[in-house]
Amino acid sequence: MLALLSIACAAGAACGLARLKVWALIPASVSFAVIAVVLGSNLGLTGGRIILIVFAVLMLLQVSYLIGAVLSETPTRHRVSDRLPGERELLWTVQMAIADELRVYFARSLDEVPQQLRAKLAMLDG
């Protein structure tokens, strides 16, 4: 059972760190509850102990999800605003160069646009 608790803790923390929605815990909770019931019944535990283990597994899953979600929201040290002014200018220049190349690559003349689309564009312009 200790292994099941450890796996539930790791799964909850992984879901929180991956910034999954809280709704992702529903299938995980159902899966862990079923595994705990099957494992507890195979070990010959009483119903009260199985319920206690299910409760502990689900609580640990949710608490570790909360801890993982809080840890994923902590600010990182390397943000664009923390860069040196020269780095920001270089990054901006590279982004603009990429945007210009994409504009040239995907540019279409009006003659290449189908007639129906040209009519709709004319409606939007007029």
Three-state DSSP class for residue 49: helix
What is the 3-class SS of 78-91, one letter each residue? CCHHHCCHHHHHHH
User: What confidence score (pLDDT) does residue 121 get?
Assistant: 77
Please give the average per-residue pLDDT across 55-76, as a whole number. Answer: 88
User: What confidence score (pLDDT) does residue 19 get?
Assistant: 85
Q: Which residue has the higher pLDDT, 46 or 103?
A: 46
- Token pair for 110: 């009006």
Provide, for the chain, the percentages of residues in helix, strand and coil under a 3-state DSSP scheme, each rounded to the nearest 5: 80, 0, 20
- 33 burial (CB, 10 Å; 0-12 / 13-18 / 19+) is middle
- Portion of the chain with pLDDT greater than 90, in percent: 40
Backbone angles phi, psi at 74, to 5 degrees: -70, 140
- Average pLDDT of the chain is 84
Residue 19 identity (one-letter amino acid): R
Q: What is the pLDDT of residues 22-60, one digit of tens each?
A: 898 999 999 999 999 999 999 999 999 999 999 999 999
